[in-house]
Structure 1
Amino acid sequence: MTGSGVTGAPRGVLVPLALAQFICSFAGSNMNVMINDISTDLDTTVQGVQVAITTFLLVMAALMIPGGKLTDRFGRRRCFLTGLLVYGVGALLSAAAPGLGVLILGNSILEGVGTALLIPPVYILTTLLFTETVTRAKAFGAIMAMGGVGAAAGPLIGGLITTALSWRAAFLFQALVVLLIAVLGRRIVDPLPPDPSRPFDVAGAALSAIGLILVVLGIQAADNDIRLMSVLIILGVVVLAGFVLSIRAKERAGREPLIATSMFGNRVANLGLVTQLTQWLLLMGTSFVVATYLQVVRGYNAVQTGVIFTAATLGLLASSLAAARFARRRTQRTLIMTGFFVSVLGVAALITLADRSLDPWAFAPGLLLIGLGLGAMLTPSVTVVQSSFDEDQQGEISGLSRSASNLGSSLGTAVAGTILVANLTGSAYAAAMITLAGVGIAGFTAATFLPRHTVSGRRSGSGVEAG
């Protein structure tokens, strides 16, 4: 690496990486405004569509750590392009789905697997290619802004496409964007050679994936069978405990586990991961609950619902664009705390204002505040985590970081969505939003334990937080 901070053409590299984060985040939220259309067309229920959405997010979370490890063995560029291919096939299959089962296969499974393959390389390549503090911060800011905009604008874009054409066209839109990314991605040059001899912990990957899936499925079962919920969650915790024992045993035997236990020994990174999980839980939970409430209870169509979410998109864009200026004057800890505080105010506004008025624009102030808060803190949280580790650990921490974010997304849809779907009324909406407010407060509390100052880290251009 040179003092320029970048190898190759930075702008040419950054565009496909940022677009990849955009489309994956878009896929996680755009279906929220298609609930009525999909359930009618495929002869299923709101719960059925919720399962498809949550499964997509869960597959991403469960496979993100293995996806990050595979980049070391097969190369970051190859995994990125392979992920795009799998994702594109899934999008096309979803567009032609004759029933819920095929939709789950295309959207939830194939798009989820594709995302798990292509997203870790996005963050690893950004860390490796952008070596100066300023250029790396701008690159991460652009990627996280595109991710946040994708999630926030997903309902609007999805609503416009669904109303103008059909919900199937929204998946064709995803396929076209993936094709564009693949064309632009030809410029990407992997700065490190792949290591085919690098071992891959199959048992660890299976245990971590199964454990996470069981826990989230247990949460989803809460509205139908409390006993089943308890059994699934307990089984999930047991499997995850087995995963921890497995990686410790491999380390003691001198073998390479799926993820090193040292990844969990960094206090600052752990706090950053908690803030990432709660941010995405808050964002995706709010998106699903508000979109479902507007369509099923208030009777709005896809485009009406999507337009209301414009407020969140504008808020997120505004604070994301100002994030670089904020970062020069405020610490990452301050930005994350402020983001959670503003977001919780937004949730409170959604509970008080929206529930007292039939005007759909009563939702705008709350969504605007949530967008402003999330835009201010998404990038600082990622920077805290990624910059806490050396370059040779970027594959592992990138996978863990993205897994935490996507687990938060799936939990947001599962937890808040289950509360709402169990009883589609105004009181259930309020209960779901109060739960999300509690999540925001928990994220704020975790952020207060982050260090107050930033010091220069061991890597060139890193910003490792001082304890």
Structure 2
Amino acid sequence: MAASPAASATPVGSRPGRAVLLTVTCLGQFMVLLDNTIVGAALPDMQHRLDTQLTGLQWIVDAYVLLVAMLLLSGGVFADRFGRKRVYLTGVAVFTVASLVCSLAPSLGWLITGRVLQGIGAAALSPASLALLAAAHPVPRERVKAIGLWAGLSGIGLAAGPVAGGVLTEAFGWPAIFLVNLPIGLLLLLLGLRTLEETRNPDAPAIDVPGTVLSVLAVGVLTYGLIEGGARGWTSPLILGSFATAALLLAAFIAVEARHPAPMLPPRLFRERLFTVSNTAMVVVGFALMGSSFFFSQFFVYVQGSSILRAGLQTLPMSLAMVVASPYAGRLAARYGFRSVVTTGLALAGLGLLALGTVHADTGYGNVWWRLAVVGTGFALTMSPLTGAAIQAVSAQEGGLASGISSTTRQIGAVLGVALLGAVVRAEQSGGASFETGLDSAFLTAGAVMLATAVFTGLWLSKSKPAQASAAPRRPAAEAALTTTNEAPAKSR
């Protein structure tokens, strides 16, 4: 997704100031990343005020993540084909309006609708913001520095989310967590319209409309069956029909992708073992990361009796650990190889989740925070090296596509994690167990899956180290896909 020749020929002095451009792109990604962690802090208040059950909370999270997961690849292509400024500002506008819809939602249905719109906006905003930044820095060394600043500054939203969510929810109620996006969105629209210059790539591939539609429908129907199965019964005709329909849609998606001239998910890439193994592990990372994070605030509020504000602060060690450890993951992979770092990260996260599965109502916080920090460190050590492994498995010309697929697979895992671990909790409760017991089972399940994946990757992932060329991606898409909406910042390879 490189800039067109005309765009590259534009004198640097005529472009917007680099500081203004960095501010606009960072602030947009900050808003998206903030939304990922700020919502988790408000889930207990949403459950109370909207009078919903666990199923409703799952839809509040998954409605957003599902759209991001399935539209992320298309968002990057849209930006290159129709103009990065246009797609970025459209994404900002949609995200801002959707945030207003969420804040004014009188019912669960309206809130879920707003979350769907937020997901669409984020899927356009996130890749376009980095594509704009990359197009403005044609020199690889300058581009890498700019992307590092973009990742680090916008990633502050991850750590700020739990605290901001706790403060706003405690003081004003859950609608306030969405209202905070309005001034940011309006500022971005004003600055963007006045300062951003349009760039595009006229040689960008055509949009894979059939693949995009089928992928959204397949994963959406599967998610419906997983979330609603616990409430409606796993053997009910509606749920069994959902699983059957999802299987048919998935088969249709595979058939269409095999015949499409420019598929969003080329099947041939999965013939490479390194690519397949790294993306399989990334699905599990998304599954455990999002699935467990979904319950953190609920654990502190419902099991340990914390206030919403205090719960937001108590979940902070995981986010901070990810922010601190992420910049070192790529360097460690470059020195010791993908397999060593990824296996260590998966094992750490798995052990941390198993340790969280043994925490109870009377466990002091001094014996809880370090478990969250271990989990966050483990996840931080896996994501960047797994993306690097996926990129190394393909040709340099397909690096952007590979990194985008890696981000998409993690998001798909996130959708499934919220659905499946929620099903584990509901299954325990339907058997007469307490919510605390259900949470313990969910954390233990996530930990066991992570440890099993650590063994799998230890056996099958390549020992190879990142190629030196990977430090300077050749196309904006390669950088754009490396940092997505619920990933820790500063992914240096």
Q: CA deviation at 1:386?
A: 4.6
Please, what TM-score do these two structures have when normalized by structure 2? 0.80
Counterpart residue identity of residue 385, structure 1: A
Which deviates further from its counterpart, 108-117 or 325-334?
325-334
8 A contact 1:141–1:323 mirrored in 2: no
Q: Does 1:105 align with 2:108?
A: no
**Secondary structure of residue in 1 paired with 2:467:** strand
Q: Does 1:53 align with 2:61?
A: yes
Counterpart of 1:345 (choices 345, 351, 362) is 351
Instruction: Identify the range of structure 1 (289-298 vs 405-414) with the bigger mean alpha-carbon deviation.
Output: 289-298
1:420 lines up with 2:425 in the alignment:
yes
Change over 3 Å in CA distance of 1:142–1:415 after alignment to 2: farther
Moved more, 267-276 or 364-373: 267-276
Alignment partner, residue 303 of structure 1: 309
Aligned to 1:438: 448
Question: Which residue pairs with 1:406 in the alignment?
Answer: 411
- Most deviating of 16-25 and 44-53: 16-25
Distance in 2 between residues matched to 1:458 and 1:294, nearest whole Å: 41
The verdict on how the C-alpha distance between 1:317 and 1:206 changes in structure 2, with shifts beyond 3 A counting, is closer
- Structure 2 residue runs without a partner (length 5+): 4-11, 479-493
In structure 2, what is the equivalent of residue 236 of structure 1? 246
Among candidates 243, 260, 266, match of residue 260 of structure 1: 266
Offset at residue 325 of structure 1 (A):
5.2
Measure, in 2, the Cα distance between the counterparts of 1:283 and 1:140.
24
Mapped pair 1:175 → 2:143: no
Which residue number corresponds to residue 6 of structure 2? none
The 8 Å contact of residues 335 and 465 in structure 2, kept in 1 or not, is answered as no
Question: What is residue 225 of structure 2 aligned with on the other side?
Answer: 218
- Other-structure match for 2:464: 452
Structure 1, unmatched stretches of 5+, are: 2-6
Aligned mate of 2:293, from 242, 265, 287: 287
Paired AA for residue 412 in structure 1: G
Matched, 1:331 2:346: no
Equivalent residue runs for 1:8-407 within 5 Å: 13-106=21-114, 108-122=115-129, 124=131, 150-151=157-158, 153-182=160-189, 185=192, 192-194=200-202, 199-224=206-231, 225-227=233-235, 228-251=238-261, 256-323=262-329, 326=332, 329-352=335-358, 354-355=359-360, 357-386=362-391, 393=398, 396-397=401-402, 399-407=404-412
Q: What RMSD in Å do the two structures reach over aligned CA positions?
A: 3.5
Give aligned-pair identity as a percent.
Answer: 26
Distance 2:336 2:20 in 1: 30
Deviation (angstroms), 1:308:
0.6
AA aligned to 1:364 is W
- Partner amino acid, structure 2, of 1:382: T
In the alignment, residue 172 of structure 1 is paired with which amino acid? L
Return closer, same or farther for 1:98/1:460 CA change in 2, 3 Å cut-off.
closer
TM-score (norm 1): 0.84
CA distance in 2, matches of 1:418, 1:146: 36
Q: How far apart are 1:212 and its partner, in Å?
A: 0.9
CA distance in 2, matches of 1:139, 1:374: 24
